[in-house]
Amino acid sequence: MNSQYPAAMCQDMTVGNIATMNTIDKIDDCFGIIYADIVSPSIEELRVPILPRNLPSGLVDIPHNSKWSGWYSTIDLETARENNYKITPKLGIHFQKGKPFDQFFKEIYSNRLEAKKDKNNVKSTMYKLLLNTLYGRMGMRTEFFTAKIVKNEDVDKMVIYNIWNAMFDYSNTNYTLIKTGKHIDSKLIEIIKDNDNDNDFAEFKIDQRKRGNFTSLPTAVTITARARNSISKYKNIPYNPMIYTDTDSVILPFPLNKKDIGTDLGQMKLENKIQTGIFIGKNLYSYKNDTDKVINASAGINNDLLEWNDFNELISGKSITKTSTKFIVKHSEGGVTIDNSCKFTIKGIVNSTPIQMHIAKPANWLTKNKLYSLQRT
């Protein structure tokens, strides 16, 4: 998809202060964030579920045939309602609508197309960075950093097991200042130095908004929902059952409608025509395109370490072991060790997902279901 998140930000966003917060009966009565009871459809009704939920363990799943409650963007709930989810709104936080980013993104995207047309890689990359860095700021933490003063004997443990950096020894004491987050404010360091005799070793927190950081959680929620739903519409196309998808791309057995393809913001572009492919899991797949070129994807693993035969092994249930280079940071020594014999194992598929099993052995109802069938009627 062409610039998925910038395209999402060109649409209506939550703007201004909270207009109302009250109980509601209908999704359409609110634009913003809703707390609702959810009932997800069966696999017969919706082949690929689209609404995620947070589990108590901290993990996220996207289930069929389940009941739960949670906070969602009205954008997510509207799309879910159109896909056979049963939704009972309880509480709505309503905002005004606006398009604060529309003109900015359209202008930058147009400039990038011109730069690519002129084969100006520097400008093209610069415009791409401008397109892809703004949306993340909406959901940044407002806390600038956290600083702690701890005993010297605890410094190594804190630095190794947490994301902490040792700053300096607290003069003439058995304590060290450590911090996590952005660069620590030099004024705070001066304050601490001026109070060497103060034994109240507190934990310091500074609100980053006082330093000019602009964030908006409702806007971040709306951006994420619009981006997620921009790809969701391709997951359950009648008679064109999705094979694989990730954040901004999809693999299908048949071409998309021509109106969905183009160079505009949010439109899809044809990346490859695939002859055959093996899709193990998220960002772990291999396929051959129409020129017999093999393209691998393996998140967290060097793509050059895996070959076509490795994916065949994994799909047949066999695990594979590879050797890679690992960089080991040693904080206590202030150095980095390079290990060229680091072995890792990727486990083969043991239990297929329902969709994988249905592809292997389609039941009668699947062959007649427009979300699964490859034959148009």
Residue 305: predicted pLDDT: 85
Name the range with the highest mean pLDDT among 139-143, 162-166, 255-259. 255-259
pLDDT at 51: 95
Question: Beta 32-39 vs 250-251: how paired, if at all?
Answer: unpaired
Every domain of the chain and the residues it spans: 1-138+216-254, 143-211
Smallest CA-to-CA distance from 204 within 192, 217, 216, 220 is with: 192
pLDDT digits (tens, 9 = 90+) for 318-332: 888 888 887 777 665
More confident residue, 106 or 331: 106
Ordered DSSP codes for 309-371 = HHHHHHHTT--EEEEEEEEEEETTTTEEEEEEEEEEEEPPP-S--HHHHHHHS--HHHHH-TT
Which one is predicted more confidently, 203 or 171? Answer: 171
126: confidence class by pLDDT, cuts 50, 70, 90 = very high
Q: What is the mean pLDDT of the chain?
A: 81
Q: Cβ(98)–Cβ(12) under 8 Å?
A: yes
For residues 78 and 12, the answer to whether their CB atoms sit within 8 Å is no
Q: Is the pLDDT of residue 65 over 90?
A: yes
Q: Predicted confidence band at 361 (pLDDT cuts at 50, 70, 90)?
A: low
- How far is residue 363's CA from residue 359's CA, in Å, rounded to a whole number? 9
Q: Give residue 269's pLDDT.
A: 94
- Residue pair 51/85 in contact (Cβ under 8 Å)? The answer is yes
Q: Given a cut of 90, is residue 53 above it in pLDDT?
A: yes
| 137 band by pLDDT with thresholds 50, 70 and 90 | confident
Q: Is the pLDDT of residue 219 over 60?
A: yes
pTM (global) more than 0.75:
no
pLDDT value, residue 372: 64
pLDDT at position 359 is 54
Residue scoring higher pLDDT (22 or 360) = 22
The Cα–Cα gap between 30 and 87 comes to 14
DSSP string, 10-53: TS-EEEEEEEEEEE-S-GGG-SEEEEEEEEPPPTTT-SS----E
Q: Per-residue pLDDT averaged across 76-82, rounded? A: 96
Lowest mean pLDDT among 73-82, 90-99, 214-223, 343-352: 343-352
Q: How far is CA 58 from the centre of its chain?
A: 15
Residue type, 240: N
Torsion of CA 204, 209, 212, 214, to 10 degrees: 140
Angle between helix 121-137 and 102-117 (nearest 10)? 160
Asked if 322 and 305 touch (Cβ cutoff 8 Å), the reply is yes
pLDDT value, residue 2: 93
pLDDT number for residue 376: 56
CB atoms within 10 A of CB 337: 10
Least confident residue range of 9-18, 46-55, 147-156: 147-156
Q: What is the pLDDT of residue 347?
A: 82
Helices (H) and strands (E) in the chain, counts: 10, 17
**Predicted pLDDT at 8:** 94
User: Mean pLDDT throughout 268-296?
Assistant: 89
Mean pLDDT, residues 231-252: 91
Q: How far apart are CA 106 and CA 116, in angstroms?
A: 15
What is the per-residue pLDDT for 205? Answer: 45
Taking residues 181-193, report their average pLDDT.
Answer: 54
pLDDT score of 199: 45
| More confident of the two residues 152 and 275 | 275
Mean pLDDT value of segment 295-323: 86
pLDDT at 362 over 60: no
